[in-house]
Amino acid sequence: MTAVIDYDAGNVKSVVKAFQALGEEAELTREPGKILSADRVVLPGVGNFGESMARLTSYGLEPVIREVIGREIPFLGICVGLQLLFEGSEESPDAAGLGVFRGRCVRFSDKPGMKIPQIGWNSLSFKGESRLYKGIEEGAFVYFVHSYYALPEEHITTASCSYADEACASVERGNVFATQFHPEKSGRIGLKLLENFISIR
């Protein structure tokens, strides 16, 4: 079973439906017991970094997430769910992230003709091997909605995209994975990525 963490972060039902479309049992939950007993865990997210982190804290989910990762249960962060794994963000300077990865999130540079947030399809440039991208071709297009992106301080980036800046699109370390883009909105490519995640033990 895949547990999708429910912390009022938006867009969670489409994540559940994407897993169900692959024949995977998926449940939206914030119950620690269900999360810790799941085969894999997903942290989705849409919205403000600080507000999202505050909701995780208010629901008592920070220690649960740390225990999931400590147990090496396959874990996938999506969009703000990726950003929350870092130490902080320019979006909410006073809010501390989970600090699973070293580094912070920064806003896209203001450049003529480049609208922020980036909304829509963009191609991936692979930065190394990733179990999530098995069977996915470099240059594949996926769907983004974001104004901020991570600047990792360790070698965990597995793909980038080019917009106003060259931005981190995904990271991986051990059994912790995260994508800045939305697999659940990325059609065939996104479903293949989720299928690869399901296969990870």
**Would you give per-residue pLDDT tens digits along the chain (201 residues)?**
999 999 987 768 899 999 999 999 999 999 999 999 999 999 998 899 999 999 999 999 999 999 999 999 999 999 999 999 999 999 999 999 999 999 999 999 988 888 999 999 999 999 988 999 999 999 999 999 999 999 999 999 999 999 999 999 999 999 999 999 999 999 999 999 999 999 998
Farthest-apart Cα atoms in the chain, separation: 49
Q: What pLDDT does residue 201 have?
A: 86
Question: Domain limits at 70?
Answer: 2-199
Residue in 146, 161, 172, 184 annotated catalytic: 184
Close Cβ partners of 177 (under 8 Å, ≥ 6 residues apart): 74, 75, 76, 77, 130, 131, 132, 170, 171, 197
168 a catalytic residue: no
Residue in 79, 105, 161, 168 annotated catalytic: 79
Burial profile 97-119: b = 16 or more Cβ within 10 angstroms, e = fewer: bbebbebbbbbbeeeeeeeeebe
79 a catalytic residue: yes
Residue in 91, 146, 182, 195 annotated catalytic: 182
Q: What pLDDT does residue 151 have?
A: 98
Q: What pLDDT does residue 113 have?
A: 83
Where residue 192 sits, what CATH number does that domain have? 3.40.50.880
Q: What pLDDT does residue 12 have?
A: 85
161 a catalytic residue: no
Q: What pLDDT does residue 90 have?
A: 97
